Amino acid sequence: MCPIDPGCTWGVLSSPGFTDIRPTAAPAGARGRRRGDTAECGILPDMEFDLFYELAVPDPDVRGEAQMFQEMLDQLCVAENCGFRTVWLVEHHFMRGYSHSSAPDLVLAAASQRTQRLRLGHAIVPLPYHHPVIVAERLATLDILSGGRVEFGFGRGFSPQEYDAFGVAMNESRERVAESLEVLRGYFRGGPLSHSGRLYPFKELDIVPSVVQRPHPPLWMAAVSPESFDLAAQLGVGVLAGPFKPWFMVRTDIERYRASLAQESAGKAQGDGINRRVGMTVGLLCLEDGRRARAMAKANVTRFYRELLRRTAPVLEKLHASYEYYRRIGGLRFLLEKAASLAVLETAGMVVAGDPDHCIRKLEEFSAGGVDHLLCAIGAGGSPHEVVVESMHTIAKYLIPHFQR
């Protein structure tokens, strides 16, 4: 039971196409349809509401690291009771103030002992920094501790400083991700594993423990370039989009992903481990007082985006091999950075702030555009704990029922 919210007693929620501990009965009043219903039937599928955390500490004199971690864990208990589906944590290093999420699997392990239903997502594990065998071991341990609630997102990372610190060549990022994923898929099949790749050769390793979910936890890939959406479809994994790409671009990418996925997964069963879902991160602050919500977002959420855009500057300003698309959107980044106001960010579909009616109108565009999981960065930029919890309750009262009819 949650230590701060006795209502957090729901069972584990499974993911489409994957087997784990089955869910308990839905809470009274829940009206969600089966996942997989489509707009082809004249109705839109439900859009799940998730949480997204960078774990920011913008002013340690006001709110230190220890307080931030404690408040975040408390928020997850509230979120579970409010009907949020998944919490997603990034992995960043050496980004003081902006993100103190350098060991997200440990935070998620702590969350697994405070919650019963909330799914636990990596968004994302930068595979080039890690040996894939260690990734497998830690992923399985978390899956066991959580009773089969892990969602595994992977990607390349974007920080030249991180690559330099960990002794990895940035131009090898694609090769390292591809080989790591090959090792992980071999591990998921079970039994002693041998691998003859260039980067991670090994023989007859008996890797323990094993994941709970079958055939494996749902797999997701960070997608930025249009080509990366194609690759996700080819790999049969879900996509995690955003948070620094405008909605009009993401919407086109989603259409591309759906078309590619339809070709790649034709004839394959729903239980085959393919993840057909799309997640998108958005800065969201919804309060019954819309003016207050926008004032809070202006102070905190816009700070988050300015810092995010600043953090991506090194890879945008220097053409790193295999990061060409970052270079191509560099001009857009500079435009947003110069005019990173709440109005501009909301026009770009990167932030939604206001009262429930305003937020519903804005979010309906994402639902209609094919977003399955809305990764809500409610606490982006270090929003006060009390405001984050208030927004969660407002979302639970108005937004979640609207989008899960």
Residue-level pLDDT at 333: 55
Average pLDDT, stretch 77-103? Answer: 96
> Residues 47-57: pLDDT tens digits?
999 999 999 99
What's the rounded Cα separation, in Å, for the pair 113 and 181? Answer: 28
Prior bond to 217 cis, omega within 30?
no
CB-based contact 375:363 (threshold 8 Å): no
Residue-level pLDDT at 239: 97
Residue with tokens 């065998």: 133
For the chain, the residue count is: 405
**Domain positions in the chain:** 43-403
Q: Which of 16-20, 133-137, 271-275 is least confident?
A: 16-20
Axis crossing angle, helix 132-145 with helix 104-112, rounded to the nearest 10: 20
CB-based contact 112:145 (threshold 8 Å): yes
Residue-level pLDDT at 344: 84
Confidence band of 405 (pLDDT split at 50, 70, 90): confident
Q: Which CATH architecture does the domain made up of 43-403 adopt?
A: Alpha-Beta Barrel (3.20)
- pLDDT of 304 above 60: yes
DSSP 8-state class, residue 85: -
**What is the three-class DSSP state of 203?**
strand
Q: What are phi and psi of 69, to 5 degrees?
A: -65, -40
Residue 132: both structure tokens together: 């894939």
Going from the C-alpha of 405 to that of each of 32, 46, 232, 349, 402, the distances in angstroms are 6, 7, 29, 23, 6
Residue-level pLDDT at 245: 79
- What is the amino acid identity at position 227? E
Query: What is the separation of C-alpha 11 from the centre of its chain, rounded to a whole number of angstroms?
Result: 21
Confidence band of 224 (pLDDT split at 50, 70, 90): confident
Average pLDDT, stretch 35-42? Answer: 35
Q: Which residue has the higher pLDDT, 308 or 33?
A: 308
- pLDDT of 24 above 90: no
pTM here is 0.87
> Residues 264-273: pLDDT tens digits?
876 665 567 8
Residue-level pLDDT at 260: 94
Burial class (CB in 10 A: 0-12, 13-18, 19+), 279: buried
- pLDDT of 329 above 60: no
Prior bond to 215 cis, omega within 30?
yes
